Amino acid sequence: MSHGLAKVLVEDFLKNSWSCVEVLVKELANLGSMKERRVDFFSFKNGQRNDVSVEGKRFFLRTSVEYSNPQLTVEEVQGLIAARLLEVCANYFCACGLRQFDGRDVDALCEMLMGEPCKGVVVPFLLNTDETEPDRYSMNPLKESIVNSGQSAFPSAYVKTDGLKIDDKFAVKYDGTLISKGELELIARALDVCKGSYMDMADSVKYTQLESLSEAFGMNLRVYALRMPLATLEREGTDGFLHHVIREVHRDYSAIETVYNCMGRSLKNRTTLLTVPHSKKGYASKRAVRGKIYFDNSKLKNVKVTYKTTALYPNAMDPNDVSVAKAEDEFMVESDRLVNYSFKEVPSSPQFVLYSLASPENAALWHGIGAFGATQLLKSYAAIRLACMRGSLIGGLDKYEVVRGVPLQFNLSPKHMWVHPVHRNIDASIGCVQNFGELAGMGMRIEPLSIMR
């Protein structure tokens, strides 16, 4: 690997995002007071999953890629590169001290970028949400068969690849804007060997792309990943942390009201479900669900769950091409099945602001909050964590190894998000970009977000 593009990005990052380095290095001064932890991750190579554990006093930095598209997008690649830049710069300047950087520092950082992303104190990782719909943003080349197989309102975790195939109309319409021929061939090959798992197929495709991107950008982009929340709930058992969270937030009217307040919602209508019970038909779309919470005085009585076919989101190239979650079902969940929660008995998908409490993150990198990302989500995320820290929500945290307080927050600058050099869309697949130098030329601008901690 050469330093060409990496050097361009390092220099631009240090010049324009130095405040992020300062914030991280100052935060790392508190590393000695942190507890040692073990976090289990995975990656894919040659279509095979490899599990790995990271142990010790580490500072974990979250970024993410989507399961709603098997191909890597320009936005996802920028997030991965940004996470690696934050990682190596924090590790480097923590060791040698904050100072005016020069060419020797840039060369040293480029060498570090070529190494594995988990060797230093700061460890970047991908938090991949497995409860989202498989074609949430109308950019999945398998979209037609996802709908025809009845899985459009399923969580990605439970989508099976049997019967899925490339949508020829999508491939023709979006050739060069959302998908490339090479990526279609890669997805087709992955479908043949993924043994029925949609998520394994998507991860295999993305990690294969990261191999070639690592060479092109001169940095190792094979960042480890973990899946949440369904993979975590399946694995942990009824005494696990997320089970505890679900039980605690449904304890009574006061607990539910606290979560609603943190989310900026009114309990007057009681329509936001704190965890979305899955339909026996397989539906779990948070967009397609309609809920109603009922109380008996101060105690939770039951929850009504209704699934209806619902439009999701369009891609950036055609605002009229809106993805869909097809679902029709209705049922009730009694209070004891939430207050005494068991995922095996009531599979459900908690709201992100709740299940992200189980993430090992000490810092998080958002993608364009204020333009492409929801500002309210970040406010809710912080408010929930502050409520836990102050003891007004979710008791009994001492027995669990979870990050206390609000992690550091960083944001890809909305005005400097990478886009396709010609079509100007952030959801273009990385395979649609002919010259990666044009992406590097857009720079790497990251900003620390000021929130109450």
Percent of the chain with pLDDT over 90: 91
* Residue 342, token pair as written in the block: 């068991």
- pLDDT mean over 160-176: 97
**pLDDT at site 274:** 98
**pLDDT at site 91:** 96
**pLDDT at site 31:** 83
- The mean-pLDDT minimum among 22-26, 32-36, 379-383, 442-446 falls in 32-36
Contact of 378 with 448, CB cutoff 8 Å: no
Show contacts of 196-201: CB within 8 Å, 24+ apart: 196/160, 196/161, 196/162, 197/160, 197/161, 198/67, 198/134, 198/156, 198/159, 198/160, 198/161, 198/164, 199/67, 199/128, 199/130, 199/156, 199/157, 199/159, 199/227, 200/44, 200/49, 201/70, 201/161
State yes or no: pLDDT of 330 exceeds 90. Answer: yes
Give me Rg for the CA atoms of the chain.
22
Q: What is the torsion angle, in degrees rounded to the nearest 10, for the CA atoms of residue 108, residue 111, residue 116 and residue 117?
A: 50
Model confidence band, residue 452 (pLDDT cutoffs 50, 70, 90): low
Model confidence band, residue 4 (pLDDT cutoffs 50, 70, 90): confident
* Residue 308, token pair as written in the block: 């209806």
**pLDDT at site 294:** 98
Model confidence band, residue 303 (pLDDT cutoffs 50, 70, 90): very high
State yes or no: pLDDT of 2 exceeds 70. Answer: no
State yes or no: pLDDT of 241 exceeds 80. Answer: yes
| Three-class HEC string of 130-175 | CCCCCCCCCCCCCHHHHHHCCCCCCCHHHCECCCCCCCHHHHHHCE
Q: Residue 441 phi/psi, 5° resolution?
A: -65, -20
**pLDDT at site 450:** 84
State yes or no: pLDDT of 258 exceeds 90. Answer: yes
State yes or no: pLDDT of 307 exceeds 90. Answer: yes
Mind listing the pLDDT tens digit for each residue in 347-374?
A: 999 999 999 999 999 999 999 887 766 7
- pLDDT, mean over the chain: 95
**pLDDT at site 355:** 98
Whole-number Å distance between alpha carbons of 319 and 141: 17
Mind listing the pLDDT tens digit for each residue in 267-292?
A: 999 999 999 999 999 999 999 999 99
Please measure the distance between the N-terminal and C-terminal CA atoms of the chain and give it in whole angstroms.
Answer: 40
Full strand arrangement of the beta sheet holding 59-63: 48-56, 37-45, 225-228, 122-129, 59-63, 363-367, 408-412, 446-448
**pLDDT at site 235:** 96
**pLDDT at site 373:** 61
**pLDDT at site 3:** 66
